[in-house]
Amino acid sequence: MPWTTALIPSQAGRRALVTGATSGIGYEAALALAGAGAEVVIAARDAGRAEDAARAIRRAHPGAEVAFRLLDTARLASVRAFAEEWRAEARPIDILLLNAGIAAVPRREETEDGFERQFATNYLGHFALTGLLLPHLRNEAGARVVAVASIAHRSGVIAFDDLQRRRGYGPQSTYRQTKLAMLMFALELDRRLRAAGSSVRSVAAHPGLAATAIARRGDRAGPLAAGIGKGLLGLLGQSAARGALPLLYAATAPEAEGGGYYGPDGPWEIRGSPGPARIEPHARDPDAAARLWAQSESLTGVASPL
């Protein structure tokens, strides 16, 4: 039987933190988690859009507990401020859903930390956030860290000698690197959690080809490119709500395994119901993952407790 939101176990008494939940698959995931009874924290950089999303969720699910916290994963200062505020409150987390992202920025941009913007937003900020929040994950069965990867990881390459793509920037190749990094991070995190004897699971998921605004920065490429992109999504892709299902499966299904990777089960994994997704061999390389982890700690200044 196809897995749908109706199969999400009760999330009453659980707390879910979702990054980038103001629109697209992040919003749909937050909406479904709130509908299942979870307390949802929307972590986003745009307060206005986040409050709009929270109000929409409350309208759909009266009585839902939904809150907004300011977080810009492209800024380490924002990540640290978020984590420090959370530490002061000492609130446990049951689901940490790492979803915020951008794609296909036409020309290379740098953040205030000197990082390439896609790499910072999609990966480095989430690496730092996870390291800082790990002490607050409930160490019990059912607690999850869910990293949103992509079918784009298949042709991704980690440029260890040029992670910031100063010499070889390309909008798509750089995006593919970030999503490969997210998948490698999820698998390495699971290995480390298991070695530490933790009950927390690290799981990865991807939405297939979902109609979202992730490439909004790509609109600078012009209306023709944007029109072609929308046409392909309409023809081949699926809705954001459908794209969120693998994320929700990874976050809540009892059968979702630590170190697992889930996506749509249809042709080429671009649409369909949640199921096991294909992981390319280069994403499974533990030596490369350990090297990426070490470089990420050096770049962010966040040393993992694992």
Instruction: Read off the tokens for 109.
Output: 């941009």
Distance CA 156, CA 27 (A): 26
Contact 16, 38 (CB under 8 A): yes
Give the model's pLDDT for residue 233: 59
- What's the pLDDT band for 79 if we cut at 50, 70, 90? very high
> With contact defined as beta carbons under 8 Å apart, do 202 and 186 qualify?
yes
In this prediction, residue 141 carries a pLDDT of 87
Vertex 184, ends 299 and 298: CA angle to 5°? 15
The model's pTM is 0.94
Percentage of the chain with pLDDT > 90? 88
Residue of 175, 249, 261, 262 marked catalytic: 175
Is position 123 annotated as part of the catalytic site?
Answer: no
Sign of CA pseudo-dihedral 43, 274, 38, 211: positive
**In the predicted structure, residue 215 carries a pLDDT above the cut 80:** no
Checking DSSP bridges between strand 201-205 and strand 95-98, what pairing results, if any? unpaired
Q: Does residue 56 surpass a pLDDT of 80?
A: yes
Query: What is the fold of 11-300?
Result: Rossmann fold (3.40.50)
CB 191 within 8 A of CB 200: no
Domains of the chain, by residue range, sit at: 11-300
Q: How does residue 166 score in pLDDT terms, banded at 50, 70 and 90?
A: very high
Q: Sorting pLDDT into bands at 50, 70 and 90, what band is 232? A: low
Q: What is the structure's pLDDT at 214?
A: 59
pLDDT at 245 exceeding the cut of 70: yes
- Taking the CA atoms of 246, 146, 118 and 153 in sequence, report the sign of the dihedral they define: negative
CA distance 67 to 256: 27
Confidence of residue 235 (pLDDT cuts 50, 70, 90): low
What's the pLDDT at 211? 77
| Dihedral pair phi/psi, residue 122, rounded to 5° | -80, -35
Residues 6+ apart with CB under 8 A from 137: 92, 93, 94, 96, 143, 145, 200
